[in-house]
Structure 1
Amino acid sequence: MEKYENIIIGFGKGGKTLAKTLAAKGQSVLVIEKSQRMYGGTCINIGCIPSKSLILNGEKKLDFVTAVEHKEKLTKMLRNKNYHMIADEATGVVLDGTARFISDHILEVTLPDSTKMQVEGEKIFINTGALPIILPIAGLAQSKYLLDSTSAMDQEKLPETLVIIGSGYIGLEFASMFASYGSKVIVLDAHTEFIPREDDDISEMIYRDLTNAGIEFHLGVTVDQVVDKDATVEISFTENGEMKKVVADKVLAATGRKPNTAELGLENTTISVDDRGAIVVNDLLQTTAKDVWAIGDVKGGLQFTYISLDDYRIILDQLIGEKKRRVSDREVVPYSVFITPPLSNVGLTEKEARKKGIAYKLFKFMSAGVPKAQVLEDPKGIFKVLVDPETNQILGASIYAEESHEVINLIALAMKGKLPYTLLRDHIYSHPTMSEALNDVLK
């Protein structure tokens, strides 16, 4: 049985970066990945990068098949780069196979030819990510027309009609993207309130804009059954007590993701999981087993590649750093939803501030007043910034506007540094940019 100083299960962002760093320092590192198409992890293969490539090319009105080819070329290049990032290190090894714990530090790996081998690691890092949730709707899991967030981006032909189950952020990104290519998109969701986390005024704007883009929404419905026909799929749902049916080329399940732990053999270890299957970790990302850590989506919580990267920083700081970093330090985390235009948030929304009874001063500005938005020919949206009336520090921001995913990072940095909002208000920005809107938003 081969022994390694470090074994990383899964090729995700945090794990691969840790592998590269430790191998570069001469430590032996084994990265186990069950799929060659996942070298580099979720983000570059089936998540952020390919979806944003397709979204961007949809906005450019590129043909769907051509856009998929562009996406595949991009991800193939990144996969190759990531493989060699580890494999080319003298002490780095990439092993194709599926890992299962035999004990806390011994793994059984099933290789592509079905043979098995065992490996032992002094330190083990679980980095297996998350999987799409397929709801127990009659006929859904068995449908040959079922798509998830991975297969949706690998279609050889644009669906003429696409039904999306779920109007969460992932569902909305796919709805916006497929509509931009010309698909008729129908969204079904059990919730009566549209993106309820967001402020009502922003939710209403997004709903209106997506509807105007041709997307059809049915909220507060129960999806009852999915039945395959000869070349289509029929989805039955109940809306306001009335049974309805829609026929589509494909049905996309966008109802969330769950930690990928079911096949890890954790029952053979002292590693604890919660009721959702997420690995339980402490403030240092340590599991309940000594010298075993969890990185990224597999531990639950925010499912962003930049969270996984920060997990890497926390773990590396323990191994060879100052031992100061903690998960609890991670208070300011922005996120973006890549609809058109994108929605970005950091900190408190106005809805949350009201619910918590937190005093705030609100700044609002319509995107139409920003010259760059007019240049980009998409003036839809709004800027909202909440400020503490006593300290002048920013409590949170919601931006539904072009390039909001860039501007939100500037605001997050100011929040992290506990800077007064007036610094952003009075700053000299280049022109024309979306960030210069802060001169007007924060007046």
Structure 2
Amino acid sequence: MNHYQAAIIGFGKAGKTLAAALGRAGWRVVIIEKSKEMYGGTCINVGCIPTKALVHDAQTAAGFNDAMQRKASVVELLREKNYLNLANIEQVEVIDGHAEFIDPHTLKITTEQGSSQLSADRIFINTGAEAVFPQIDGLIPGPRVVDSTGILNISSLPKRLSILGGGYIGVEFASMFASFGSEVTLFETSSQFLAREDADISAAIRVVLQEQGVKIELNTAVQSVSSGNDSVTLHTNHGDRQADLLLVATGRRPATRSLKLENADVATNARGAILVDNRLKTTVDHIWALGDVTGGPQFTYISLDDFRIVHDQLLGKGTRTTEDRVNIPYSVFMTPTLSRIGLTEAQAREQGRNFQVVSLPVAAIPRARVINDTRGVLKALVDNDSQKILGVALLAADSHEVINIVKTVMDAGLPYTVLRDQIFTHPTMSESLNDLFALVKQA
């Protein structure tokens, strides 16, 4: 039985980066990935990269089939690059197979050739997350019912696309496929649309989607689903709805069910997320969990920071923890992009903060006129006592770039006036921060 200093289960952002770092440091490392189609992890293969490539092409008048071909070529290029980045390191071995625990130090590896065992001093779990299908009669994956992975592999543009789930994944795909020309209907059981956002921001997003042709049905429960050869029917509390394809976008859960974690005494919560401390150690001292499998924010950049935390323990000073992470931004790549950081207005009120709110329509930004996309709104919350930025929401073209500027200022604990008075190039979306924060009244 082969023995390694480190065994990494999963080829995601955290796992692959850790494997490379440890291998270059002289450790004997094995990384196990169940599918050759997943080298590089979710982001490269079925997440950020393919979806954002399609979002881009949807806005450049590219045909759907051409966009899908380009998406496939981009993914293939990056997948191969990620594989070679590890395979070319002498100390790192890549195994294509499924891993499960036999005991805290031993893994059973099942490949096309059969099964074997290996052991390791330290084990790192980086298996990511998987789509959740709610318990609805007839809701079974198939040619007419897909999740966010399956829809990236369809062969033709659906004329009618129904999306079950009005969260961020559903919104992103709704905007994308409406831009390609599909008739999109989004079904949400709640009476609120994007309830995690402030009402004014969710209302602005709804307007943008509806202008793209997306129909949004709130308070709509899908009670059962019937799939035929050419269509799928959603039987709802408001009647039947037909589509050519149904995308199930009702969330994702940590992919831990097949790991047999109980054999290693690794504890999980009710959703299957692996319990970790602030240094990402599990309930077993020599086993760590990184990325989406811990049940935290499902972002590639969080997985990268997980790598930094573990790397600091193994090869650094051992001081970095998850508590060092503040002001985590996120972007929803609808068109235009929604980007947010910090508190919402509702959260600030719940905390009893003394703050003011300022907002600016995107139509007031010169760059928005130049690129002919004046949709959206910018919003900021500023603490009246400290003059610091509490939160920002940007529904605007290129907001995914601008939000990083805001994060830098917030992390540094600087007052909002830094952005109000900053010198930005012109005409850019970044300079909108001058105008947005100029609206703040001196307390």
| TM-score (ref. length: structure 2) | 0.98
* Long gaps (5+) in structure 1: none
Q: Is the Cα–Cα contact under 8 Å of residues 354 and 385 in structure 2 kept in the other structure?
A: no
Q: Which runs of 4+ in 1 moved over 6 A?
A: none
Q: How far has the Cα of 1:199 moved from its partner? A: 1.2
- Residue by residue over 1:335-389, the C-alpha shift from the partner in whole angstroms, topping out at 9 and shown as x without a partner, is 0011111110000011211222211122211111111111111111111111111
Question: Corresponding residue for 1:352?
Answer: 347
CA distance in 1, matches of 2:418, 2:209: 35
Q: How far has the Cα of 1:230 moved from its partner? A: 3.0
Does 142-151 or 190-199 show the bigger shift?
Answer: 142-151
Question: Corresponding residue for 1:75?
Answer: 75
Q: Is the Cα–Cα contact under 8 Å of residues 130 and 297 in structure 1 kept in the other structure?
A: yes
Q: Is the Cα–Cα contact under 8 Å of residues 327 and 407 in structure 2 kept in the other structure?
A: yes
Q: Is the Cα–Cα contact under 8 Å of residues 143 and 227 in structure 1 kept in the other structure?
A: no
2:164 is the counterpart of 1:197: no
- Residue by residue over 1:94-144, the C-alpha shift from the partner in whole angstroms, topping out at 9 and shown as x without a partner, is 10000000011100000023x100010111000000000001111111543
Q: Partner amino acid for 2:135?
A: P
Q: Is the Cα–Cα contact under 8 Å of residues 341 and 403 in structure 2 kept in the other structure?
A: yes
Partner SS, residue 410 of structure 1: helix
Question: Corresponding residue for 1:97?
Answer: 97
Q: How far has the Cα of 1:432 moved from its partner? A: 1.0
- Residue by residue over 1:143-169, the C-alpha shift from the partner in whole angstroms, topping out at 9 and shown as x without a partner, is 431111111111110011111000100
Q: Partner amino acid for 1:120?
A: S
CA distance in 1, matches of 2:369, 2:63: 26
Q: Partner amino acid for 2:132?
A: I
CA distance in 1, matches of 2:307, 2:367: 36
Q: Partner amino acid for 1:46?
A: V
CA distance in 1, matches of 2:112, 2:367: 52
CA distance in 2, matches of 1:105, 1:332: 36
Question: Corresponding residue for 1:328?
Answer: 323
2:262 is the counterpart of 1:267: yes
Question: Corresponding residue for 2:441?
Answer: none
Q: Is the Cα–Cα contact under 8 Å of residues 290 and 307 in structure 2 kept in the other structure?
A: yes
Q: Is the Cα–Cα contact under 8 Å of residues 43 and 49 in structure 2 kept in the other structure?
A: yes
Question: Corresponding residue for 1:366?
Answer: 361
Q: Is the Cα–Cα contact under 8 Å of residues 329 and 342 in structure 2 kept in the other structure?
A: yes
Q: Is the Cα–Cα contact under 8 Å of residues 4 and 120 in structure 1 kept in the other structure?
A: yes
Question: Corresponding residue for 1:2?
Answer: 2
Question: Corresponding residue for 2:241?
Answer: 246
Question: Corresponding residue for 1:315?
Answer: 310
2:153 is the counterpart of 1:154: yes
Q: How many residues align?
A: 438
Q: Is the Cα–Cα contact under 8 Å of residues 106 and 118 in structure 1 kept in the other structure?
A: yes
Question: Corresponding residue for 2:32?
Answer: 32
Q: How far has the Cα of 1:266 moved from its partner? A: 0.7
CA distance in 2, matches of 1:359, 1:154: 49
Does 354-363 or 57-66 show the bigger shift?
Answer: 354-363
CA distance in 1, matches of 2:170, 2:230: 24
Q: Is the Cα–Cα contact under 8 Å of residues 143 and 226 in structure 1 kept in the other structure?
A: no
Q: Partner amino acid for 1:79?
A: R
Q: 1:379 aligns with which of 356, 367, 374?
A: 374
Question: Equivalent residues in 2 for 1:79-158 (5 A)?
Answer: 79-113=79-113, 115-141=114-140, 143-158=142-157
- Residue by residue over 1:379-419, the C-alpha shift from the partner in whole angstroms, topping out at 9 and shown as x without a partner, is 11111111111111111101111111111110011111101
Q: Is the Cα–Cα contact under 8 Å of residues 224 and 237 in structure 1 kept in the other structure?
A: yes
Q: Is the Cα–Cα contact under 8 Å of residues 161 and 248 in structure 1 kept in the other structure?
A: yes
CA distance in 2, matches of 1:143, 1:172: 22
CA distance in 1, matches of 2:108, 2:213: 50
Partner SS, residue 65 of structure 2: helix
CA distance in 1, matches of 2:49, 2:17: 17
Partner SS, residue 237 of structure 2: strand
Does 301-310 or 352-361 show the bigger shift?
Answer: 352-361
Question: Equivalent residues in 2 for 1:286-305 (5 A)?
Answer: 286-305=281-300
Partner SS, residue 200 of structure 2: helix
Partner SS, residue 137 of structure 1: coil
Partner SS, residue 52 of structure 2: helix
Question: Corresponding residue for 1:59?
Answer: 59
* Long gaps (5+) in structure 2: 439-443
| TM-score (ref. length: structure 1) | 0.98
Q: Partner amino acid for 2:130?
A: L
Question: Corresponding residue for 1:236?
Answer: 235
Question: Corresponding residue for 1:393?
Answer: 388
CA distance in 2, matches of 1:380, 1:202: 12
Q: How far has the Cα of 1:8 moved from its partner? A: 0.5
CA distance in 2, matches of 1:301, 1:12: 15
CA distance in 2, matches of 1:426, 1:32: 50
Q: Is the Cα–Cα contact under 8 Å of residues 297 and 303 in structure 1 kept in the other structure?
A: yes
CA distance in 1, matches of 2:81, 2:319: 32
Partner SS, residue 442 of structure 1: helix
Q: How far has the Cα of 1:246 moved from its partner? A: 1.3
The RMSD of aligned alpha carbons is: 0.9
CA distance in 2, matches of 1:375, 1:119: 59
CA distance in 1, matches of 2:264, 2:298: 25
CA distance in 2, matches of 1:425, 1:321: 38
